[in-house]
Structure 1
Amino acid sequence: MGRPDDTRNDAVSRHKQPSAAVTYDSRWAGDLRSAMLCSAVVLGLLLLIDWGAGSLTAPRATLWTALAMLLFLVLYPARVSAGEGWLASRGLLRERRVRTDALVSVRCLGGVSQRLRLRDTEGGRLEINPKVLLDNPELWHRFARDADESAARGHLTCGATALRRMSERIDRETAQTVFKVSGLD
């Protein structure tokens, strides 16, 4: 049975470019390794402590394994990718996608973990960590170019200030990196 947003996903899929034009988050593999390592270390420590106390049993080992798997699910990083006119975030179970050339709003959400909330004209919604765009200049440039196109078309009604601040932040951090690498720090 189809979901209500299947027609929107079909429209976005038609807009999708060939895989050669897709840009991916370059740090995703490292984040995935970190999530696996953290979960394995927690599992190892729990089993070691339980074994050292002499209380390790099969049901307890199963419980610790389930706890480590739950930790992995919480830490699993979303894989962000972008193509011409779209940005996607793929988690374990589903992929969310927005048309960046038809953005309606861009909002920066503060708090413990900053989030960038995007919404397009077709109702697509996506939340990503802005650090992904900061750490991946190719993703940022593709996203910024399409967002500028959306603003030029008059679609972007909310978020021009958030995009400008994000651009300034990326420019500032890029300049700081260049100064550090060149020794002018």
Structure 2
Amino acid sequence: MTNLILETERLLMRPLELTDAEDMFTMDSNPNVHKYLWQKPYQSIEESIANIEYVRKQYETNNIGRFATILKETGEFIGWTGIKFVTEEPENGNINFYDYGYRLNEKFWGKGYASEATLAWFDYGFNKMKIEIMNAYAHSENGASNHILQKSGMRFVESYLDKEGILWNWWQMENNQL
């Protein structure tokens, strides 16, 4: 698992490493990045380190997780993308499900990278992992993320309130190859 690398025309997706902590902190300390993520930007690099360690444990436990997403042309860390198996805290009343997600550094928004990575992950998840159903959720007001999920083939299922009363959109895609 930890040797998995996905590539697209412009992107390389590889397991997160502790050496990504500084780049992750730069991304996650930006309030704009957290506008639709409970508005809690990171305050210290230790939060990024803890997050990377948490994700690396998911690689071992679930054989999948969020991956560092790198711009091939420059080698820059643009954020993370990937599939997570949600086992700890229910989302929209669901537990033990595959969730697709991503987070990009603001300077890489609007360039099609999220869409490119999403299609690569859907291909991997459905064709290699044989996932039956992929879910995703996005803040109801995050037009860009909701658009990407829709144009990537996901179906809007419902809106729901999280435990903090924030409205989210729940998306789903079924594997039609099975």
- The alignment's TM-score, normalised by the length of structure 1, stands at 0.29
- The alignment's TM-score, normalised by the length of structure 2, stands at 0.30
Structure with more helix by fraction: 1
